[in-house]
Every structure is written in structure tokens, then in C-alpha cells.
Amino acid sequence: MTDRLALAAAFWACFAGPLLAGAWPREPGGVFLSQRFDYDRSWREQKASATLYAEYGLSRRLTVVGQLSNEDEPWTVSRSALGLNYALGRLDAPDKVAVSLGVSTPPTMMGVTTERRIEAGLHWGRGFESRWGGGWATASAKLLFARDEDDPITDFSALVGLRPKDRWMAMLSASRYGDTQGTYVKVSPSVGYELRDRLWVVPSVTLELTDDRSTGVGVSFWFSF
């Protein structure tokens, strides 16, 4: 299992948040792109969303990350995000650790921008071997500071993944997001298949375990070069 694949898996685990970053840095000059489509349905509502995520390796430790996302109106951006991810410690250490800092905001409307957030995160990751093949585990903790909120928003996530055979991987992620509207806990099993070199398709199912009890399906395409 390569660090590149583990990094992509860490991205998938954290996609519930507006800005994500993993413990593995992107190699200098390296690019990773992900296009994701989701459909969620609960007893109250149903919604569709699309997310475009990108990262670029500035150095061996520093990675730029960016994201555009929408809800209900395809191709209309409702939130954009930009940030930096910095790897800590020895780059060849078994345990990978990184910190991230970024800002996210919806589009400016009539000269007024609302819901701007500053996001700070701590990320951990580690690869391992098992009887079912190579695997990896990741965890992230983030605080999101909104302009009009007294208390920070909390966002925690974790993922375990395995590569049982070439061109296939399986993942299970869990997340907990809390703000003034409530706390949301989700679990998401997913599988990935490599269509060709460095191009993956990753379908998933998401189950919310709190309040809305929503169920979602999604598909993501990963590409790196």
C-alpha cells in the first residue's frame, strides 16, 4: 500500500466537513482531484449535492487543499474552502501527524458574506498489514470558528481501510459533527475500484444515527497525477 492511496482514503473519511486534510502530505508538485456526488433522504427532506476537492503539494511537508460544494442546485457553488496542511515529525515515521488551517465561506451576495469559518485541525494516520492485506487507519479532530457563533463547531472523524487484492479496497468511516443546531453522527461503508492507473471510482452508503436518521448514497471519482 502506498502513502498516496492512504492519503486519498483519509480524504474520503473526512468529506463530511467543508474543508478536509489528512495526515499524509502530498508529494511536491503532486495533484489529487476528487469529484463526489451524493443523494440523502430523511423523513423530513431529500437533497442532492456535488463536491469538487483538490490538493497540491507545495513541499514535502506542506499541502494546499481546496473545495467547492453545493446542495440541491447542481453546479451552483454554495460553499468554498481553502487551506494548508502541514506534516509534523519524521516523514518516514510509522505514525503520521499533521495540522491544518483554513477558511471556508459561501459566495458573496449583495456585497455581504455570511457564515465565514476559520478551521483548525489535527490529523493522525498509520498503515498496517493484516491477514486480509495492507490497511490503514486515520483520525481527525477539527474546530470550526464561525463569525456569529460563540462556541466552536466540532468535527471528529475516523476511518479504517483495507486492500484485500489489487485494484480493490474497502473502507468504513465514522464522523461526529456538532454545532448550535445539534449533533450528527454518521457511519459510511464504501468500496473502491481502480478503473485505470491513478483513477478510482468509490461508491458509498451513509447512515445517520441521530435525529433525522437519514440514508445517503454517493459516488466519488479520485484522480492523481
pLDDT at 72: 56
**Which CATH number goes with the domain that contains 27?**
2.40.160.40
pLDDT at 12: 42
Cβ pair 184, 176 in contact under 8 A: yes
Instruction: Report the chain (225 residues): mean pLDDT per 10 consecutive residues.
Output: 46 40 86 91 81 93 91 65 94 94 71 71 93 91 84 92 92 91 91 93 93 86 91
**Based on the structure, what is the number of domains in the chain?**
1
Give the DSSP letter string of 128-197: EEETTEEEEEEEEEEEEEETT-SS-EEEEEEEEEEEEETTEEEEEEEEEEEETTEEEEEEEEEEEEEEET
pLDDT at 210: 84
Q: Rounded CA gap, 204 and 172, in Å? A: 10
pLDDT at 11: 45
pLDDT at 114: 56
Cβ pair 55, 64 in contact under 8 A: yes
Domain of 137 in residue numbering reads as 3-224
